């Protein structure tokens, strides 16, 4: 038997996570200040600006937004790793969560001329016990990928299915797909596929890692099917607790 003392490795690992967490926190405040100043400039609150100035400030605003997204992703990752990503489940209408996320992408969908469809279930879904904020984030990460990695004019479909004791969600796109030889790394931290990098798409490689953690913390499963240049479908399930009242109704 060989025993290997990993105390030091564990300590270094913890210090690294703490360092990322601290730096991310420190960066958040100045980035917010920059955001609000740029917003005021763009809205003309600080005086009139020319069309050209507006264009440049607009681009700076977008870059700043991307930095804020990255910081938020990093904070979520450190919370997951330190076991501080706590869940506050409440009984909720799951379809409303999906609809909320879809609404936030309406402009993006229009801008990219994406043919978008939301296939709901015929019968009303039972309520599920989820952390609404985090479940929105998981759905948002999947839909964001489907839209980002699909060229203009492509198709994105979200479908819901309800089967006995679980809800199944599928986010399907006709985008760039994920190369076969890289598929097993898709849910790891900071992973970005070579074809996505080549196309200069924006991303941090943290969205799916976070989504997987959220889904699994809710007792669900997440997986995908993908073919390069053809498209991808990301699936996840959520268990539905049979409620006592429903049980009584059926008696
Ligand atoms: P990000 O999108 O910010 O890079 P994610 O963790 O959400 O990070 O995704 C990791 C990688 O998986 C992406 O960079 C991309 O290469 C690939 N990927 C995820 N979703 C899709 C999709 N729908 N179509 C094609 N590639 C995808």
Question: In sequence order, what DSSP letters do the residues of 156-189 get, joined into one string?
Answer: EEEEEEEETTEEEEEEEE-S----GGGGGGTTST
The tens place of each residue's pLDDT in the chain, 251 residues long, gives 899 889 999 899 888 888 888 999 899 999 999 999 999 999 999 999 999 999 999 999 999 999 999 999 999 999 998 888 888 889 999 999 999 999 999 999 999 999 999 999 988 888 899 999 999 999 999 999 999 999 999 999 999 999 888 999 999 999 999 999 999 999 999 999 999 999 888 888 999 999 999 999 999 999 999 999 999 999 999 999 765 555 555 55
Name the residue among 134, 10, 149 with its Cα closest to residue 72.
134
Q: Taking the complete model, does pTM exceed 0.75, yes or no?
A: yes
Distance 160 CA to ligand 1 centre (A): 21
Distance 58 CA to ligand 1 centre (A): 25
211-to-38, 77, 98, 138, 222 alpha-carbon distances in Å: 31, 11, 14, 4, 9
Residues at CB less than 6 angstroms from ligand 1: 141, 145-146, 149, 173, 175-178, 186, 191-193, 196, 203-209, 232
Q: Which class for 169: exposed (0-12), middle (13-18), buried (19 or more C-beta within 10 A)?
A: buried
Q: Which H or E element spans position 197?
A: helix 194-198
């Amino acid at each position: 038997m060989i025993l290997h003392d990993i105390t030091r490795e564990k300590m270094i690992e913890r210090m690294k996570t703490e360092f990322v967490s601290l730096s991310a926190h420190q960066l958040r405040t100045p980035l917010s200040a920059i955001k609000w100043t740029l917003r005021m400039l763009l809205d003309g609150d600080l005086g009139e600006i020319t069309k050209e100035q507006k264009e440049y400030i607009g681009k700076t605003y977008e870059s700043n937004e991307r930095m804020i997204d990255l910081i938020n992703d990093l904070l979520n990752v450190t919370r997951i790793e330190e076991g501080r990503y706590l869940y506050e489940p409440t009984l909720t209408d799951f379809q409303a969560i999906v609809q909320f996320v879809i609404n936030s992408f309406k402009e993006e969908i229009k801008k990219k001329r994406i043919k978008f469809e939301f296939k709901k279930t015929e019968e009303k879904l039972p309520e599920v016990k989820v952390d609404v904020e985090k479940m929105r984030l998981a759905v948002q990460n999947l839909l964001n990928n489907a839209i980002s990695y699909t060229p203009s004019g492509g198709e994105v479909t979200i479908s819901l299915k309800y089967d006995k004791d679980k809800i199944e969600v599928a986010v399907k796109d006709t985008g760039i797909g994920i190369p076969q030889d890289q598929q097993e790394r898709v849910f790891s931290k900071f992973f970005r596929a070579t074809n996505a990098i080549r196309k200069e798409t924006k991303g941090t490689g943290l969205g799916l890692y976070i989504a997987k953690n959220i889904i699994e913390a809710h007792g669900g499963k997440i997986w995908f099917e993908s073919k390069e240049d053809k498209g991808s479908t990301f699936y996840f399930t959520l268990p539905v607790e049979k409620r006592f009242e429903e049980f009584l109704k059926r008696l």
